[in-house]
A and B are shown apart, each in its own frame.
Chain A
Amino acid sequence: MRVILSLLLVVTLLALTEGFAGAQQPANILRIGILGDDYLSRPVLGLRRGLRELGYIEGQNIILETRRSSEPGSGLYPLAADLVRLRVSVIVAQFPGALEVAMKATKTIPIVMTYPSDPVAGGIVASLERPGGNVTGVTGLASGLGGKWLELVKETVPEVKRVAVLWSRGSGNEVPEWKDVEATARALRVELQSLEVRDRGDLAGAFKSATTGRADAVIVLPHIFGIPREIAELALKSRLPGIFWRRDFAAAGGLMAYGANPYEQSRRAAYFVDKILKGAKPAELPLELPKNFELVINLKSAKELGLTIPPRVLAWADDVFR
């Protein structure tokens, strides 16, 4: 009798647990690596929000392994290696230098990028539709943004005649933004001074060349080695109104920045992280273009440079540092 009752109880319990088993998720915590520089707070906030919107909660089903270095390049290699050693499921690379380092560190761990550039021309992916490798994510515009920078410089400082362009070669040999700048310069009848920066040590020299070359303004393209504060200070010191691709430069003292909103970029990157965690192959995940751009102006630097930002430019600014 007791045996039969016990059996009955077990069978009933089994039937009930079977019914509710479907509601339970396997307790599998995934690690997501984030590689970037000192200006990671906004992107990480965006990523966190994006992940939360997709049902990921830090500590419960994911762990964010954030690795940052104020020394882009050499400082990032050991951090990337660390993430690979941790066997993170995805690495989110927050700026061009971080992407290059991550790509060198692993060919297997999926990498999600969030910075604006042209990854096809830069040789990072095979095509926007089918990246083909282990890198996917949100990209910049394939064309045009370089021209937009020049246009903004010209609009802000209409008397500009000669503009210095600081650039570095990325993982590919092409610098897509340069072409845009060049095409727009012709249309706007602005002379360009091309200054290649091979490493961080070249920066001071480049700005000096810009000054001696009588440049009226400076455009700093992505891929440039060095940290925003250092570059912004050099620009100020050289008394060159500068436009940059990322708001952090403006925050550090650069005159203005126009580019994709890093918070929104990272928020969108969460979508790619989610897809990859659910088994999608990065090689087959098409890249997306940024949806939100922001114009950030540092009025303090403008004052320091003796500039008055035209109201029609200031009117469109998304953020202003005073």
Chain B
Amino acid sequence: MILDCGLLVLDSIIMKLQNLPFIRILRGRRREHLVRSYFFISVFLIAGGLISAGLLEIYFRYSESLEQVHLAQQDAASRAAFEIERFIQDIATNMKAFTKSADASFPVGFDDYEFELRRLLFLAPAITEVLVMDANGNIRAQASRFRAVAPLLKKDLSQTVAFRRSKQGQNYFGALYFQDSEPYFTVAIPIEQVPGEIVGVLQAETSLSDILDVASSVRFGGAGYKYVMTRSGDLIAHSNISLVLQRRNLAALNQVKAAFQSSPDAPRLRAIVAYNTEGQKVFSSYALIPNLDWAVFIERPTNEAYAPIYASLLRTSILLLIGLGVALLATLIVRRRVVRPLETLRQGVERIRQGDLTTRLELKTGDEIEILADEFNEMAAHLKQAYTGLEQKVAERTLALTIANTKLEEASQHKSQFLANVNHELRTPMSAIIGYGRLVLRATEGQISQLQRENLQDLLNNAERLLNQIDSLLDFAKIEAGKMEVRVEPVSVTEVIHWATSTIEPTLNGGSVRIIREIAPDIPVLNTDREKLRQIVLNLLDNAVKFTEQGEIKIFASQQNGALRLIVSDMGIGIEKEDLNEIFDEFHQGDLSSTKKYQGTGLGLAIVKKFANMLGGEVAVESEVGKGSVFTVMLPLNYHESVFV
């Protein structure tokens, strides 16, 4: 569940990232989704881990470093203060030891005290001048490193604070003063022959310029420094000696104020962040030397204290960068190992789709993809084989079909030629027979018997019938040969129907069959081929007459939806249902058994259909065996070239 949520979040992040402009550039081609996904997942997993680890590392290091800086610096300040205090105390102790002597007259006599004072200068290098006073405050002996100590320089120092304080039995540590720009202070101690009996005072002028050297072991950081100062803010010593020599007063610094305002017994504060004399931000720690009313400060620039944190940040950043590089590398390797072969595979499929069945893949990845590529190659080989066989078969069949077509075409041509020839050869003598028949009938008017006359008339009728059939054959041959043309002219439907019925009426079977005409009066004059319309109506009527023994043959013409509707119905034998679809085929007659009874070529209805189609119309038939048939022809009122089918 959590994993799902995580993946969802990751997906949404990836989606958002993908919408960034620069990522869009990175996206490149549509087909490289896999590379991108791998890249983002790798980067997110590796960089995410590195970043979170790095941030945690930085956070903890920062806290620890800060704590360390505070503690170590505070400790350093305390140690430095301790060393300095001990140094001063050592001077006093040396001086005190110096006053002790086994000689009972010493120092009361002061006879050779000067030599002893020089010894003290050797013992305590910080002391530059030393003098001894008697109980009245008069200088009795003196020694100096630099100056001549003339015997006549004796002075009365009984009124000085140093003398009076020491006379009371106390060690005296004087105020800071400067001589030749260097810091000094006065130390005075009482000389007691026996405890409580003060016979004089030993006073030393002590240089403080090297006081920091005693705390030189206390070091803090490369740029760290320390300084000692009095409550008044006067510098006694500083790592940068120039500040002391320039008599800088640092009372205004916040850390100095804080130090001297605090009580010596107050708990040690942590180092504070303040500004030093140069305006630099520093960590500042202090320790007080209560006996002297001095304070020792140790300061360190904050940027140096932060340096390890920055270094850690840099290290983490470098690691992060390397991590990102590795992620990128991993993506590239994945691309090389997985996506590229997939792309090759895809291109192979694409080539096969385009029909190049010779395509084979050369993938040697040594893994499942190679197996897939081998399978692909095998499949392509099979496909190629199957395709080649199929092509061969198609070629064979096509050749056979072409030969058959050619033969059929030839046969058709022969048939057309034959029909044309037959027509020509039959029609001419038939026309001559009919012509001469009529001539004989007219010429023998009244000369031959009625029976002869009827026979002659039968001969003529059959001859004409034969001629009609020959004409039909000729027409059909023309249609088949594509030589039938449409001649458009104004045509009166009424006139055509009248012509057809009058033509057909003589062939009616006595009075048992009659033709009924119904012509709607609103039918306009048609623009169509007159002869073909006549042929349609005549053939339909002829067909009706042929199969109607008795009853009515109706011809009905009307206008419907801008077309001519022509219906011819009979009460004949009807057509079998299974024959309905074939009655318009050429040389077909509904009932083979009745072929002989109902004579004809079987071309009448075929011609009706062909002509109706030629004039842009169609013909349909409904029939019921024993009840009759209804033929319906629909023709456009105005023939258009375009409607020719």
Contact = CB atoms under 8 A, between A and B. Distances in A.
A144 B144 contact: yes
B146 A291 contact: no
Interface in B91-118: 115, 118
B148 A188 contact: yes
A286 B148 CA distance: 26
A286 B245 contact: yes
A187 B150 contact: yes
Nearest to A154: B148
A129 B247 contact: yes
A287 B372 CA distance: 89
B292 interface: no
Report which residue of A1, A15, A284 has the largest number of chain B beta carbons within 10 angstroms of its beta carbon. A15
Contacts of A192: none
Interface in B210-267: 210, 241-242, 245-247
A20 to B, nearest CB: 10
Interface in B117-145: 118, 122, 144-145
B245 A128 contact: yes
Given A8-B329, A144-B146, A19 B314 contact: yes
Contacts of A19: 314-315, 318
Contacts of A188: 148, 150-151
A207 B89 CA distance: 51
Interface stretch (B320-328, B411-419, B605-613): B320-328
Nearest to B182: A289
B245 A148 contact: no
Contact of B145 (A1, A293, A315): A293
Nearest to A275: B242
B26 interface: no
Contacts of B247: 129
Given A128-B180, A288-B241, A148 B148 contact: yes
Given A1-B336, A12-B325, A286 B181 contact: yes
B483 interface: no
A11 B321 contact: yes
Nearest to B207: A291
Contacts of B153: 187
Interface in A90-148: 128-130, 141-145, 147-148
Interface in A271-322: 275, 280, 284-289, 291, 293, 312, 315-316
Contacts of A4: 328, 332
Contact of B328 (A8, A284, A315): A8
Given A144-B148, A180-B148, A291-B210, A286 B242 contact: yes
B328 A142 contact: no
A150 B148 contact: yes
B152 interface: yes
A191 interface: no
Looking at chain B's contact residues, is the secondary structure mostly helix, strand, loop, or mixed?
A: helix
Contact of A141 (B118, B180, B245): B180
Nearest to A285: B242
Contacts of B332: 1, 4-5
A106 B180 CA distance: 27
A291 B322 CA distance: 56
B311 to A, nearest CB: 8
B596 interface: no
A174 interface: no
A15 B149 contact: no
B147 interface: yes
Nearest to B326: A8
Contacts of A316: 118, 122
A184 interface: yes
A12 B321 contact: yes
A61 B146 CA distance: 38
Interface in A169-218: 180, 184, 187-188
Which of the four size classes fits the interface of chain B? 20 to 34
Contacts of A12: 321-322, 325
Given A151-B150, A187-B153, A188-B150, A129 B181 contact: yes
A148 B246 contact: no
Contacts of B321: 11-12, 15
A5 B122 CA distance: 72
Interface string B297-323: 000000000000000001101100110
A308 B326 CA distance: 88
Report which residue of B180, B318, B322 has the largest number of chain A beta carbons within 10 angstroms of its beta carbon. B180
B249 to A, nearest CB: 13
Given A15-B318, A129-B181, A129-B247, A148 B242 contact: no
A287 B245 contact: yes
Given A19-B314, A187-B153, A148 B146 contact: yes
Contact of A11 (B150, B152, B317, B325): B325
A259 to B, nearest CB: 10
B180 A142 contact: yes
B148 A187 contact: yes
Contacts of B245: 128-129, 286-288
B148 A8 contact: no
A317 to B, nearest CB: 12
Contacts of A151: 148-150
Given A4-B328, A8-B329, A15-B321, A148 B147 contact: yes
A64 to B, nearest CB: 24
A286 B182 CA distance: 10
A27 interface: no
Contacts of A187: 148, 150-153
A180 B146 CA distance: 11
A142 B315 CA distance: 55
Given A11-B321, A289-B182, A147 B246 contact: no
A144 B147 CA distance: 4
Contacts of A184: 148, 150
B312 to A, nearest CB: 12
Interface string B403-435: 000000000000000000000000000000000
A45 to B, nearest CB: 21
Contacts of A129: 181, 245-247
A4 to B, nearest CB: 6
A143 B180 CA distance: 9
Contacts of B147: 143-145, 147-148, 180
A150 B149 CA distance: 10
Given A128-B245, A286-B242, A312 B145 contact: no
B334 to A, nearest CB: 12
Contact of A16 (B149, B152, B318): B318
Contacts of B149: 151
Contacts of A128: 180-181, 245
A8 B325 contact: yes
Report which residue of B146, B180, B247, B332 has the largest number of chain A beta carbons within 10 angstroms of its beta carbon. B146
Contact of B115 (A8, A15, A289, A312): A312
Interface in B148-175: 148-153
Contacts of B145: 293
Given A8-B329, A130-B246, A291-B210, A148 B144 contact: yes
Interface of A: 1, 4-5, 8, 11-12, 15-16, 19, 128-130, 141-145, 147-148, 150-151, 180, 184, 187-188, 275, 280, 284-289, 291, 293, 312, 315-316
26 contacts: A1-B332, A1-B336, A4-B332, A5-B332, A8-B328, A11-B321, A16-B318, A19-B314, A128-B180, A141-B180, A145-B146, A147-B147, A148-B144, A148-B146, A151-B150, A184-B148, A187-B153, A188-B148, A285-B242, A286-B241, A286-B242, A286-B245, A288-B182, A288-B245, A289-B181, A316-B118
Given A129-B247, A188-B148, A287-B245, 18 more contacts: A1-B332, A4-B332, A5-B329, A5-B332, A8-B325, A11-B325, A128-B181, A129-B245, A129-B246, A143-B147, A144-B147, A145-B147, A150-B148, A151-B148, A187-B153, A188-B150, A293-B146, A316-B118
| Shortest beta-carbon contacts, A-B, top 4 | A187-B150, A286-B245, A147-B148, A151-B148
